[in-house]
Amino acid sequence: DAKTTQPTSMDCAEGRAANLPCNHSTISGNEYVYWYRQIHSQGPQYIIHGLKNNETNEMASLIITEDRKSSTLILPHATLRDTAVYYCIVRVADTGNQFYFGTGTSLTVIP
Amino acid sequence: DAMVIQNPRYQVTQFGKPVTLSCSQTLNHNVMYWYQQKSSQAPKLLFHYYDKDFNNEADTPDNFQSRRPNTSFCFLDIRSPGLGDAAMYLCATSRGSTVSNQPQHFGDGTRLSIL
């Protein structure tokens, strides 16, 4: 599985967009990019995933570069409840669909 | 409604005393996973079941075993817990498929303490 590289921590002002980058320069053609977040003392929560097209859902947008070597998760209007550790995971779609988490980005939303 | 349920949320056991953590799901997913998460670290996959087929990660210690009696339930057994096994244990499920990818759904974990 491709390794992912994320900044250790980021701050974002409440109400502003939070842009969380992820590098996955060794990604293969059939590997998907997943984003999860984990709020303290809870299990990881699924946010969004994509292969090569940009994706948007009610929580966030995922922008994947054309060469697929990096991606950005966008939380359009960050709230205090978005404070969490955000994990970018690259995983081949196969029968087991195992995830191997990277170190993640600790996002702090500041009032 | 909780879809992946882990009980208890907190478990205390003694050094060397076997302990079992449980996970149940209402999603009818055919794949179930167990992760270990130590303080300030990312979750680390221990093993997973695809239907009844058990798949162990290469670096999972022999001290850790798992059982899946039916689709809905999966257990993590730690035969002789050491102090280094104190961690949050996370259970997750997904719909396994060769033609599409499916996200994993996590429970809120069981925090295991070793005395």
For residue A6, give the DSSP letter.
-
pLDDT band with cut points at 50, 70 and 90 for residue A101: confident
Cβ burial A24-61 (10 Å sphere, 16+ → b, else e)? beebeeebbbbbbbbeeeebbebbbbbeeeebeeeebb
Q: pLDDT at residue B98 above 80?
A: no
pLDDT band with cut points at 50, 70 and 90 for residue B24: very high
Average pLDDT of chain A, as a whole number: 92
Q: Which two tokens stand for residue B39?
A: 């303080």
**In chain A, which residue's Cα lies nearest the Cα of B100?**
A93
**In chain B, which residue's Cα lies nearest the Cα of A51?**
B101
Single out the residue of A93, A73, A101, A100 nearest to residue A31, CA to CA: A93
Candidates B42, B94, B102; nearest CB to A87: B42
Beta bridge partners of A49: A34
Residues of A in contact with B102 (CB under 8 A): 97
Cβ neighbourhood burial of B28 (10 Å; 0-12, 13-18, 19+): exposed
E strands of A1-111, at which residues? 9-13, 18-23, 31-38, 45-50, 55-56, 61-64, 70-75, 84-92, 105-110
Q: pLDDT at residue B104 above 80?
A: yes
Residues of B in contact with A104 (CB under 8 A): 42
Q: How far apart are CA A70 and CA B61, in angstroms?
A: 34
Give the per-residue pLDDT at B97: 67
pLDDT tens per residue across span A72-89: 999 999 999 999 999 999
Residue with tokens 């998760």: A73
Q: In Å, how far is B9's CA from the nearest CA of chain A? A: 10
> How does strand B44-50 pair with strand A18-23?
unpaired
Q: How far apart are CA A105 and CA A97, in angstroms?
A: 23
Give the per-residue pLDDT at A30: 82
Q: Which two tokens stand for residue A94?
A: 């196969």
Percentage of chain A with pLDDT > 90? Answer: 75
Residues of A in contact with B45 (CB under 8 A): 98-100
